[in-house]
Amino acid sequence: MRNISFMLTWPQALAQLKTVTRRVGWEFLRPGDLLQQVEKGMGLKKGDKITRGHVISTLEVSREQLSVLIDEPAYGRAEVDREGFPHFSPEQFVEMFCRTHNCKPEKTITRIWFAYDRPGNAPACLSCLKSSWTYNALGQVACSHCSRVFPGAPSFNEEVNTLFTRLAENHQKLQRALK
């Protein structure tokens, strides 16, 4: 089974709030393929171990330009929610994706719609032991019963923008090093 990284959306993936992901590449993927969610698959330091999440099954694999999220507002709004970014506009999502993947909105990417192999198997809240997650006003993954923020869940404001900026810078450094 192939690993698929959810580094930018790890809390959403673990809480099973994310059902769509977009990737540069991944054209080989087919509906029915099983994938192992991992927090981070590349750039691990010596001694680091892969953190595994859920097993997911691909339902649909398609190719589309990122700009369709902006060109078709209703589709874009629904897709941004499915991606785990309910507090982003489609324009913000496309801008963030392009920044972190060093591409332009016209880039044709792979859209992967997936289902969790064991639905309802999200981790329990450490406070109330319920397994029901939602988004709070800051865009953080939080328990829908007691509002405790999911461990490691950043807000979707300054912290995420800082993370995306660092990721884009590291990606560009890696691209230059590989040339």
* Selected residue with higher pLDDT from 158 and 32: 32
User: Which residue has 């892969």 as its token pair?
Assistant: 50
Q: Which residue has the higher pLDDT, 64 or 146?
A: 64
- Which pLDDT score, from 0 to 100, does residue 170 have? 67
Percent of the chain with pLDDT over 90: 48
Mean pLDDT, range 31-38, rounded to an integer? 93
What confidence tens digit (pLDDT) does each residue in 71-81 have? 999 999 999 99
- pLDDT given at position 49: 85
Superfamily in which the 2-178 domain is placed by CATH? Hypothetical protein. (2.30.130.30)
What b/e string do you get for 123-149 counting C-beta neighbours within 10 Å, with b at 16 or more?
A: eebeeeeebebebbeebbbbbeeeebb
**pLDDT level of residue 156 (50, 70, 90 thresholds):** very low
Q: Report whether pLDDT(127) > 70.
A: yes
Per-chain mean pLDDT for the chain: 84
State how far the Cα of 71 lies from the Cα of 84, in Å rounded to an integer: 20
Residue 155 CA to residue 163 CA, distance in Å, equals 11
Q: What tokens appear for 107 in the block?
A: 């880039």
Two structure tokens written together for 26: 């991944």
In the chain, where are the structural domains located? 2-178
